[in-house]
Amino acid sequence: MMNRTYEKGIYIHIPFCVHKCIYCDFLSAPADDAVKYAYTKALINEIRNTADKQVIDKQINDNQTRDKITSIFFGGGTPSVLPDGCIADILMAVRDCFDIEDDAEITMECNPGTVNESRLSEYRAAGVNRLSFGLQSADNNELKMLGRIHTFEQFVESFRLARKAGFNNINVDLMSAIPGQTEATLENTFDKVMALQPEHISVYSLILEDGTYLADNIDKFPPVPDEDEDRRMYHMTNERLHSAGYERYEISNYSRKGFECRHNLLYWNRGEYYGFGCSAAGFIGNERYSDIRDVKKYIELNGDIEKLHENIEILTKEDAIEEFMFLGLRKMAGVDVMDFQRRFGVPIENVYAKEIEHNVDKGLLIRQGDMLKLTEYGIDICNTVMSDFILTYGD
Ligand code: SF4
């Protein structure tokens, strides 16, 4: 009989928002409380049925495998728009069904203006120990243009309430390359946010996603910073955050020492995770899957996991190798070549000798001991570097 412990994460998707932002292509929409309660019930059933299936699978395999959950992430949408008690109920179900590590990281995304003192206390009491505020900008004109529901002042109040409720691990999501944004307005955003001293800051460039209002009407908006301006903003971001004591540990993520996001690191290290909720993606064994995207149907299926999963993809060894490179190179620490050999049974040079040599020669990659990582120049054109690591076969 085998007796192993597997570390895994859990992602939980809450597909509701107060209002749709004009650039958003996530699965999210406004809904009334009846829908939110019905969704919560279906979600809890999905969690319970998944755990039951794991138990049956383990008995069939005659293993005594026990999952150890190291991180839980409530994303969306806006998880903080669920009615009182829902987050606590979901977490209670997760605890019933899985073995949660004592110091597991439990993150909840919140939008400024959607939390109050009692809700934040409820989250703390339920075990949430990390908040992630979607601020995007400290400039109220930029926020209004993006269709955000809050002002910077409302964010400051939500942040203050979060600290008061005892949250000592807070991320703030920010955005660059917003139409009309300049280096000066972005720098001003950093100044205002850093004055609050969050433990973690993410800064992603705005991407114009097909089918969003912004992409379809881009001519009606101020110009989007071009690629050169975007890179200048990226370099300024790195310098400003670095000089304020934030370490960049992934291309777009910065934190104070010890406050790196464990859940995201699990993704970038190709760790396994369950995905629960509409459109939630999971990765278990060598299988990637996601849940159906239709909220009404999700509620009707009420946790029937045989019918909830779609886009099931069984990864080949080549897929796994590519993912290991794409995800690993996003980390500033880079990929561990010894880890590559342990996972795939061959030295990295047997698969990528030419690609590594070529990118090192061009100053895009650097080898330091066992680590292979992007240089600053490599970060600027990381998509080009990563495309070199796509494996082609059959010819
Ligand atoms: S708050 Fe986030 S998930 Fe909701 S509409 Fe805006 S960008 Fe999309």
User: In which band, very low, low, confident or very high, does the pLDDT at 53 lie, cut at 50, 70 and 90?
Assistant: confident
Verify whether ligand 1 is closer than 6 Å to residue 17 (CB atom).
yes
Q: Which two tokens stand for residue 246?
A: 């934030």
Name the DSSP class of 223: P
Q: What is the mean pLDDT of residues 62-86?
A: 88
Residue closest by Cα to atom 6 of ligand 1? 21
Residue 3 predicted with pLDDT over 50: no
Q: pLDDT tens digits for 280-336?
A: 999 999 999 999 999 999 999 999 999 999 999 999 999 999 999 999 999 999 999
Ligand 1 lined by 26 (C-beta under 6 Å):
yes
Angle at 326 between CA 320 and CA 332, to 5 degrees: 130
Ligand 1 geometric centre to CA of 235 (Å): 26
The verdict on the CB of residue 107 being under 6 Å from ligand 1 is no
The verdict on the CB of residue 214 being under 6 Å from ligand 1 is no
Q: What value does the mean pLDDT of the chain take?
A: 94
Distances, alpha carbon 166 to alpha carbons 125, 163, 170, in Å: 10, 5, 11
Sign, CA torsion 92/95/98/103: positive
- Among protein residues, the one whose CA lies closest to atom 7 of ligand 1: 24
Q: Quick one: which of 159, 205, 211 has its CA closest to 178?
A: 205
Ligand 1 near 78 CB (within 6 A): yes
Q: Whose CA is nearest to atom 2 of ligand 1?
A: 77
Ligand 1 within 6 A of 213 CB?
no
For the Cβ of 76 lying below 6 angstroms from any atom of ligand 1, the answer is yes
- Structure pTM? 0.94
Instruction: Give the SS3 label for residue 161.
Output: helix
- The residue whose CA has the least distance to atom 5 of ligand 1 is 20
- Alpha carbon of 161 to ligand 1 centroid (Å): 21
Mutate which of 17, 108, 202 for ligand 1? The one with the most ligand atoms within 8 Å of its CB, which is 17
For residue 43, what is the enclosing H or E element?
A: helix 33-60
Report the run of H or E that residue 344 belongs to, with start and end. helix 337-344
Angle between helices 183-194 and 227-243 (to 10 degrees): 30
**pLDDT confidence tier of residue 59, bands split at 50, 70 and 90:** low
> Of all atoms in ligand 1, which is nearest to the CA of residue 23?
7
Distance CA 50, CA 5 (A): 18
Confidence of residue 5 (pLDDT cuts 50, 70, 90): low
359 Cβ closer than 6 Å to some ligand 1 atom:
no
For residue 79, what pLDDT is reported?
Answer: 97
Contact 107, 87 (CB under 8 A): no
Q: Residue with structure tokens 């379809």?
A: 216
For residue 302, give every residue at least 6 positions away whose Cβ sits within 8 Å of its Cβ, in sequence order, or none.
Answer: 41, 42, 45
Q: How far, in Å, is the centroid of ligand 1 from the Cα of 129?
A: 22
What is the Cα gyration radius of the chain? 22
Q: Ligand 1 within 6 A of 77 CB? A: yes
Closest-CA residue, ligand 1 atom 3, reads 77
Compute the average pLDDT of residues 245-268: 98
The end-to-end CA distance of the chain, in Å, is: 43
